[in-house]
């Protein structure tokens, strides 16, 4: 059975805890974070997920591909040029 990991996703400055399977793609983490914070006005493809270093992550890769530590902080923001 797949391991679960808890990540902290900061959506427009608002942190939320997302528990994800390591086999899930990051897009699932992104969608769950948006849902939990009520940011449903923009579709998932209008958002970008970055790590603490500011590197954009590929949301089509699996959580396990990034070898996150538990409670790793990720940052979710609207892409440049997308109205809020």
Q: What is the pLDDT of residues 29-70, one digit of tens each?
A: 999 999 999 998 999 999 999 999 999 999 999 999 999 999
Strand pairing class (73-78; 4-11) = parallel
Can you give the pTM of this predicted structure? 0.91
Tokens standing for 8? 């902290």
Structural domain spans, the chain: 6-20+34-39+47-74
Residues 34 and 15: their CA atoms lie apart, in Å, by: 11
């Amino acid at each position: 059975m797949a391991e679960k990991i808890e990540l902290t996703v900061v959506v427009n400055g608002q942190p939320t805890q997302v528990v994800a399977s390591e086999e899930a793609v990051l897009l699932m983490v992104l969608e769950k974070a948006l849902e939990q914070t009520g940011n449903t006005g923009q579709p998932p493809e209008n958002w970008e997920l970055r790590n603490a270093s500011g590197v954009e992550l590929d949301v089509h890769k699996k959580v396990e591909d990034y070898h996150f530590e538990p409670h790793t902080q990720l940052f979710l923001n609207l892409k440049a040029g997308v109205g809020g």
